[in-house]
Amino acid sequence: MSVQSREAKLRAIQGEVEPLHEINVPKLDPYDLMPQRESNRLRALSLFSGGGGLDLGFDRAGFSHVASYEILGHAAETLKRARPNWVVNGNQDGDVTSAKWTSLSGEVDIVHGGPPCQPFSIAGRQKGADDTRDMWPELVRCIRAVKPRAFVAENVPALASKKFAPYVQSQIIDMLSYRYHIKMLMLRAEDFGVPQIRRRVVFVGFARKKDAVRFVPPAATHRWGDSQLEFTENLERCMGAREALGLPDIGFDALSPTIRSSLTGPRHTTSILNSVAAQRTFEALQIWPNGVAATREKARAYVANNGHFRLSVQDVAVLQGFPEDWPFDGATYMQLGQLGNAVPPPMGYAVASSVAAAFEA
Ligand SMILES: C[S@@+](CC[C@H](N)C(=O)[O-])C[C@H]1O[C@@H](n2cnc3c(N)ncnc32)[C@H](O)[C@@H]1O
């Protein structure tokens, strides 16, 4: 198959195949989902920053970043390119395991981060604390040393499952509740206008009880299709994947299936496909989820065998709630890996805005 697809790609590059689709102009601008708020003068420290999903959400919510830490060079480079004035520690100096946090004690209002999810993800072996990639103890070490007014920590929904309840209790709650009042939230991307099925568990902790009492979890701003959410006039309609990407109406639309993290698999891939069920949805959407192209022009030229719309990195960014000008660094699989690992920025924005409101009230 890979020989066939290489040959097809070559034919496309040589202009032998007539493109089937116009270059799309997305209807959704993710910036509209997170209007820039004025500075709230709150200082954030970001761990496990990746390509900057959570960082961008906090930034748009009015926080400033004291520093960001990310061990993966390409991901750190993305954030440096996007925010040249920030202190972004990449590669080994971005390694949180060797960071000394004490100099930041009292200098930070909020620590935020999403430790790697592989130890808990249902796509992995779910070894939890026995997985050497488990970085929760490092996040806890940082919070205990820096003593921020609040922290926000996110992960895959599997962390909230019964299987990991003892882990959550012993490694997160017991380690931090000496100082923090902690709440656990389950958030859905579509509730914030992101056209993708994506759930995230988020822990929010406040040092002061009155901040914790004032904290109101982010309410949905959008509503998709048959959502069980109570409808109110304040909720906007969440676009489906086709509409968000500006594709022609085919009489069917749906949220994009969860975009896989392509850095976690055994090989480098440019597929965003996560499951067999996801494949069925993409087929119905007439979107081809494999061989994502580096640009829209290349996606158009490289016609998929079944004639379905081929995605570009910029399209996947829109489906993940990233503005399409976010300057992802590295080869296509690496850019997709940063995207697949990320918190949709509008979800991060919603949490960050709620935390700031609890401080302000
Ligand atoms: C789930 S991703 C975080 C995504 C990010 N929150 C976002 O919204 O874009 C976890 C990140 O932790 C990084 N990481 C893993 N081990 C690390 C370490 N020891 N120090 C710093 N970063 C690390 C990975 O490279 C990966 O980018």
Are residue 101 and residue 212 in the same domain, yes or no? yes
Atom 16, ligand 1: residue with shortest CA distance: 71
Domain membership flag for residue 299: yes
Mutate to test the pocket of ligand 1, among 46, 71, 111, 134 (most ligand atoms within 8 A of CB): 71
Are residue 260 and residue 311 in the same domain, yes or no? yes
Residue 233: its pLDDT value, please? 63
- For residue 109, report the distance from its CA to the centre of ligand 1, in Å: 21
Are residue 205 and residue 323 in the same domain, yes or no? no
Residue 265: its pLDDT value, please? 61
Pocket flag, ligand 1, residue 345 (CB < 6 Å): no
Cα dihedral 134, 269, 51, 219 in deg (nearest 10): -80
For position 61, which CATH number holds?
3.40.50.150
Residue 229: its pLDDT value, please? 54
Are residue 134 and residue 190 in the same domain, yes or no? yes
Are residue 155 and residue 287 in the same domain, yes or no? no
- For residue 115, report the distance from its CA to the centre of ligand 1, in Å: 6
The residue segments making up the domain with residue 286 are: 2-28+237-341
Residue 79: its pLDDT value, please? 98
Domain membership flag for residue 231: no
- For residue 105, report the distance from its CA to the centre of ligand 1, in Å: 22
Residue type for position 322: F
Are residue 150 and residue 274 in the same domain, yes or no? no
Q: What does each of the 361 residues of the chain score in pLDDT, given as a tens digit?
A: 566 667 767 767 666 678 778 899 999 999 999 999 999 999 999 999 999 999 999 999 999 999 999 999 999 999 999 999 999 999 999 999 999 999 999 999 999 999 987 766 767 667 776 767 789 999 999 999 999 999 999 998 888 889 889 999 999 999 999 999 999 999 999 999 999 999 999 999 999 999 999 999 999 999 997 555 555 667 899 999 999 999 999 999 999 999 987 676 666 889 999 889 999 999 999 999 999 999 999 999 999 989 999 999 999 999 999 999 999 999 999 999 999 999 999 999 999 999 999 997 6
Pocket flag, ligand 1, residue 50 (CB < 6 Å): yes
Residue 349: its pLDDT value, please? 98
Domain membership flag for residue 232: no
Domain membership flag for residue 230: no
Judge whether 117 counts as a catalytic residue. yes
Structural domain total, the chain: 2
Pocket flag, ligand 1, residue 95 (CB < 6 Å): yes
